[in-house]
Chains A and B, each alone.
Chain A
Amino acid sequence: MSAQTSAVAADPAKVPALSLRRSCGRDARRKANEWIAFMLLRGAVLIVAAALAVIVGFLIKNGLSAISWSFLVEAPRNNMTEGGVWPCIVGTLLLSLGAMAVALPLGVASAIYLHEYARPGTFMRIVRLGVNNLAGVPSVVFGLFGLALFVTAMKLGVSLAAGWLTLGVLCLPVVIGTAEEALRNVPATYREASLALGGTKWQTIWRVVLPSALPGILTGSILGVGRAAGETAAIMFTAAVFYTPKMPTSIFSDVMALPYHIYVLATAGTEIEKTRPIQYGTALVLIALVLGMNLAAILLRAWLQKRQKG
């Protein structure tokens, strides 16, 4: 359509008064098409937003009644058909924070290398290929890897330590990605100023680049903790168990975790229907934890961007 219109417009001999009206009609149609298409595009975003609203809405509507103080601070009782989720909350927090303790140093160091030291070339390309492909490995494969290496070969057993290492390498690409972004946002003039004052590369990174990238790195690590907290398949063979009456006492203890608890109650429990409120409640606690962290990261990032502009 546009080709025709522009052809008409481009050839002055063919634009007498008569066809002007026709091209007006065509313009109106083009405008109408545009309006319809933009509505469709807007609709797509609305569908995505609606999906989030419906999922979160359902969980809040059905889960809120299950949430009480005792639900949060008590252990499950009576074959997990009563009681609360306290051990799962503790387990999930321990797992995700420990995973970040593994991933953060490795991830930030990798990002520093990739952004500050590496020059474009084969080596950098290979390192990047490794990071990108690690990000694409399915979580269940991470679970089996953790089972084969950490649980079996390193003899850690089903334990917090095995879970930390598995989740740590799972989160590594997330941390590298966000840390690199944070480094990219540090103005080059900062580095040049430090180098001009006689600072070495390392002094520049340690005293100038890292401090100004720190908030961005923090944002990334919050996102990483959120990712680790919601992960199920990677911990079901490495760290999490159905039920344990004991709270974790060492890094070799197995733990209960919120995501696995939901899965177990919803699919393998003896009384799936009866424990429905507990399932909704647990799911609500989990998304409150995960979305809360994400919201914190998003707000932190927005605040940072504003500060940088201002």
Chain B
Amino acid sequence: MHRRTRETLIKTGFQATAITSLAVLTLIMVFLFMEGLPTFSFVSVKSFLFGLDWYPTDAERPDYGVLPLITASAAVTAVSSVLAIPLGVMSAVYLSEIASPRVRAVAKPVIEMLASLPSVVIGFFGMVVMAPFLQDFLDIPVGLNLFNAALMLAFMSVPTIASVSEDAIYAVPRELKEASLALGATRLETICRVTIPAALSGIGTAVILGMSRAIGETMVVLMVAGGAAVIPDSIFGPVRPMPASIAAEMAEAPFRSNHYYALFAIAMVLFLVTLGFNILADYISHKHRQAGTATL
């Protein structure tokens, strides 16, 4: 009896600890809302989300419109996805289906190392190496711009996309591929028509997670995107995505001033967007379970 009570207590202890993550997530939400919601006492939700001007420090008539920041985040994420999705998925296909074990043993750690590079280092590289290079090479006025930031972000989301897709491709049942090969399809035809369709939900999850990482990434866009809070007119224009605005301005915003609240409100938007992306990824991977023999 004594022994059983102890076991139950231990189990309950672990159960309680396991809730930590969820509790932290809830706390994050609570604190963001607590510090962010007062924003809407001095600016309406509509003019906050759709306002075109972000001049929070203007002494006479401050403006709190974050549309340029949201557009910037969306644009940077979109451009970086265009670069990162093909690279990531192709790398995953190569690693899981084509590479010999020896190549795999080298290439996989390389991708993991790229994932582990601190974002500030990638941002620094974009600033001191890529920006002058782009400026000279493409003959554009500023090297710190949307494209440069998207390029750097792409290198940060490729590892995420590659490793999650690889798991998905790896999990495709062998019988499916063997059946296709036995019917006379080449390896490429098997990959394109059997393996990838079967792993599509996993690849979709990978893409969403990669994009979510790009939206939330801070240091790269802070250092490389150029910092102008305007809606970009070209892909080589300077922009100021949401995380960059928060990181750059928080240090200067007086404690619990309107500016401070507005920055928390931006973080709220950012949090909800990434939360949405992650729930979507979770939904896809549960709803469309990895294709087994039954679904094809």
Chain A interface residues toward B at CB < 8 A: 1-2, 5-6, 9, 30-31, 33-34, 37-38, 40-42, 44-45, 47-49, 51-52, 55-56, 58-59, 106, 109-110, 112-114, 116-118, 126-127, 129-145, 147-149, 152-153, 169, 172-173, 176, 200-202, 223, 226-227, 229-233, 236-237, 259-260, 262-263, 266-267, 276, 279-280, 283, 286-287, 290-291, 294-295, 298, 302
Contacts and interface: CB of A to CB of B under 8 A. Distances in A.
Interface in B83-124: 86-87, 90-91, 93-95, 98-99, 105, 107, 109-114, 116-124
A34 B216 contact: no
Nearest to B19: A127
Interface in B135-177: 155, 158-159, 162
A141 B270 contact: yes
A98 to B, nearest CB: 17
B282 interface: yes
A110 B247 contact: no
Interface of B: 3, 6-7, 10-11, 13-15, 17-25, 27-28, 31-32, 34-35, 86-87, 90-91, 93-95, 98-99, 105, 107, 109-114, 116-125, 127-129, 155, 158-159, 162, 183-189, 193, 209, 212-213, 215-219, 222-223, 243, 246-247, 250-251, 255, 263-264, 267, 270-271, 274-275, 277-279, 281-282
A134 B105 CA distance: 30
Most buried by A among B112, B124, B219: B124
Nearest to B191: A37
A129 B95 CA distance: 29
A113 B17 CA distance: 8
Contact of B185 (A2, A38, A117, A147): A2
Contacts of A229: 118
Nearest to B11: A117
Nearest to B84: A48
A238 B162 CA distance: 33
A44 B90 contact: yes
B129 A237 contact: no
Given A138-B217, A229-B118, A48 B162 contact: yes
A130 B121 contact: no
Given A51-B155, A134-B25, A148-B35, A233 B91 contact: no
Given A141-B32, A172-B21, A233 B219 contact: yes
A169 B267 contact: no
A263 B7 contact: no
21 contacts: A44-B86, A44-B90, A44-B91, A48-B155, A55-B155, A127-B18, A127-B22, A130-B23, A134-B25, A137-B275, A138-B217, A141-B216, A141-B270, A141-B274, A145-B31, A201-B11, A230-B117, A233-B243, A236-B251, A263-B222, A267-B222
Contacts of A136: 209, 212-213, 216, 274-275, 277-278
Given A232-B119, A298-B109, A38 B212 contact: no
Contacts of A294: 112-113, 116
Contacts of A266: 124, 127-128, 223
Nearest to B22: A130
Contacts of B263: 144
A127 B282 CA distance: 13
Given A136-B275, A267-B223, A52 B250 contact: no
B121 A55 contact: yes
Most buried by B among A49, A223, A227: A49
A256 B255 CA distance: 22
A133 B275 contact: yes
B270 A138 contact: yes
Contact of B15 (A106, A117, A279, A302): A117
Given A37-B188, A106-B20, A237-B250, A230 B119 contact: yes
Contacts of B279: 129, 133
Contacts of A237: 250-251
B246 A144 contact: yes
Contact of A42 (B34, B94, B105, B120): B94
Given A140-B218, A176-B21, A47 B119 contact: no
Given A44-B87, A58-B125, A140-B218, A113 B15 contact: yes
B98 A140 contact: no
Nearest to A103: B20
Contacts of A112: 14
Contacts of B113: 52, 291, 294-295
Given A45-B91, A230-B121, A110 B21 contact: yes
A141 B94 contact: no
Given A143-B247, A173-B21, A201-B11, A259 B274 contact: no
A290 B119 CA distance: 12
B17 A298 contact: no
B243 A6 contact: no
Contact of A232 (B31, B209, B219): B219
B17 A231 contact: no
Most buried by A among B18, B19, B25, B278: B18
